[in-house]
Amino acid sequence: MRYVAVFGDIAGARAGNERLMHLAFYDVLTDLPNRALLMERLEQMVSRIDREPRLLAVMFLDLDGFKLINDSFGHKVGDELLRAVAKALCALVRQSDTVARLGGDEFVILLDNPQNEHEIANIAQRVITAINKHWNISGKSVHVGVSIGVVIYPKSGISSGDMIKYADAAMYAAKSAGKNTYRFFDDSTPQPTSHSGADSSWDI
């Protein structure tokens, strides 16, 4: 019996460690990769690009109208909507791509080696079509949209460490263009600032 008890303690400790590791790298609400795992995968993709000719697209997504839903129907409905959006985003990409949640209503998609800008634009439009609709959440009909900013590496001439920041800036350009659209970062895009998208006045 003593050996059984020891084995049980080891198995329990191992399960506990695995759970802690999961919590460290995955978002509790949506079970998507969190910021830490996103940055790790981004570094891996950039490292691979440095060894062979490939492309990487970083898509920064911010939901349009999410704050109003939270204020009107409560955080329970908002949380269920975020889970539904996360599931819809995962269904739109390949297994080699990454869908992550940064927090609040901000998501990032890493597209691993897309063919060209045209393919990236098609994916962005598919995301908008999938998200910009009325959702039935807990018996409530709620409408949410999405604005997307895109950075292509290495074509954009942006360092790997700044890709998320510049994709965020491109997302704000999409917001300025009327929301429910996408914009690629280019020379005409306003330079990134230190704002946080979750706290922004755009989140209405």
> Is residue 13 included in any domain, yes or no?
no
Q: Which tops the pLDDT comparison, 20 or 158?
A: 158
In which domain, by residue range, is 59 found? 30-199
Name the token pair of 186. 């280019």
pTM over 0.75: yes
Please compute the mean of the pLDDT values over residues 135-155 and round it to a whole number: 95
Domain count, the chain: 1
* Residues near 77 by beta carbon (within 8 Å), at least 6 away in sequence: 69, 70, 137, 138, 140, 142
Name the DSSP letter for residue 33. B
Which listed residue (62, 64, 97, 105) is catalytic? 105
Residue 7 counted as domain residue? no
Give pLDDT tens digits for 2-36. Answer: 555 555 566 565 656 666 676 789 999 999 999 99
CA distance 39 to 130: 26
pLDDT grade, residue 185 (50/70/90)? Answer: very high
The pLDDT of residue 116? 95
Residue 2 lies in a domain: no
* E strand residue ranges, the chain: 56-64, 98-103, 106-112, 133-137, 140-153, 182-184
For 155, residues 6+ apart whose C-beta sits below 8 A from its C-beta are: 55, 117
Is residue 67 domain-resident? Answer: yes
When mean pLDDT is compared across 7-16, 96-105, 173-182, the lowest value belongs to 7-16
Residue 105 annotated to the active site:
yes
CATH number of the CATH domain containing 122? 3.30.70.270
More confident: 148 or 18: 148
